[in-house]
Amino acid sequence: MVSADDARRNQLLAVLPEIEFLRILPQLEAVDMPLGQVLYESGRPLSHVYFPTTAIVSLLYVMENGASAEIAVVGNEGIVGISLFMGGETTPSRAVVQSAGHGLRLRAPAIKDEFNRSGPVMHLLLRYTQALITQMAQTAVCNRHHSLDQQLCRWLLLSLDRLSGNELVMTQELIANMLGVRREGVTEAALKLQAAGLIRYARGHITVLDRAGLEARTCECYAVVRKEYDRLLPHRIAS
């Protein structure tokens, strides 16, 4: 059985009023989320929603030719599988674990029941969905108008916000798939950041050495997304 402390490692679950939290807690299932695991595929019905606690999940749009690009990241601040409670049942995106860790999952009927109560859970999930839509929209703008160097900084900062440490384990290929660019482009951008003393990059390990430097180097998109999450997802949801 999942403990209350473990459940509260996910920030959405942590801010639920006690009544709703205790009603959901016995239905949660702890799951390992290894690097590269696909939580759902494009167009296929979802059986669960996922609440990451230490893992990070990337939402990707995959083209017919196999090319992909990241549209959002979800970590311990959120939930994976919003189409279940929004009524869509499926989504054209794919969800892939980009940073290994752990999480919790909840069966589809359970999250639908909670949402349909039209209480604190529904209001919290709607606010989270608005924040996620903001991240998706800003990602599209960033990919169109900003340099790969700035995009990589934004991506690193968003990932750091969802981790307890300052190190990410990522292959060049996975980062390239996330950003929708060639591996050579990722290498070049990462080496620039390393030369500037902002990160240490070697064999799929990225260690952030100067977060403030990354924030100064990135575009406005990171701050827009961070501000919207802070605005929409307060630390305590009223009963």
Q: Are residues 116 and 174 in the same domain?
A: no
What is the reported pTM?
0.89
Which contiguous run of DSSP H or E holds residue 156?
Answer: helix 148-160
Q: Are residues 13 and 109 in the same domain?
A: yes
Q: Any idea what the CATH number is for the domain that residue 185 is in?
A: 1.10.10.10
Domain count, the chain: 2
Separation of alpha carbons 220 and 7, rounded Å: 33
Q: Any idea what the CATH number is for the domain that residue 16 is in?
A: 2.60.120.10
Q: Which residues contact 5 (CB under 8 A, 6 or more apart)?
A: none
DSSP string of 165-211?
Answer: SSEEE--HHHHHHHHTS-HHHHHHHHHHHHHTTSEEEETTEEEES-H
Q: Are residues 30 and 112 in the same domain?
A: yes
Whether residue 128 is contained in a domain is answered as: no
Please give the residue range of the domain that contains residue 195.
142-226
Q: Which residues contact 88 (CB under 8 A, 6 or more apart)?
A: none
Q: Are residues 19 and 111 in the same domain?
A: yes
Whether residue 33 is contained in a domain is answered as: yes
Which one-letter amino acid corresponds to residue 26? Answer: P
Whether residue 159 is contained in a domain is answered as: yes
Q: Are residues 22 and 103 in the same domain?
A: yes
pLDDT in tens, the chain (239 residues): 899 999 999 999 999 999 999 999 999 999 999 988 999 988 888 999 999 999 999 998 877 777 777 889 999 999 999 999 988 777 888 999 988 999 999 999 999 999 999 999 999 999 999 999 999 999 888 888 888 888 888 888 998 888 888 888 776 677 776 666 677 777 788 888 889 999 998 877 889 999 999 999 998 989 999 999 999 987 644 43
Whether residue 135 is contained in a domain is answered as: no
Q: Are residues 111 and 163 in the same domain?
A: no
3-state helix, strand, coil in the chain (%, to 5): 45, 20, 30
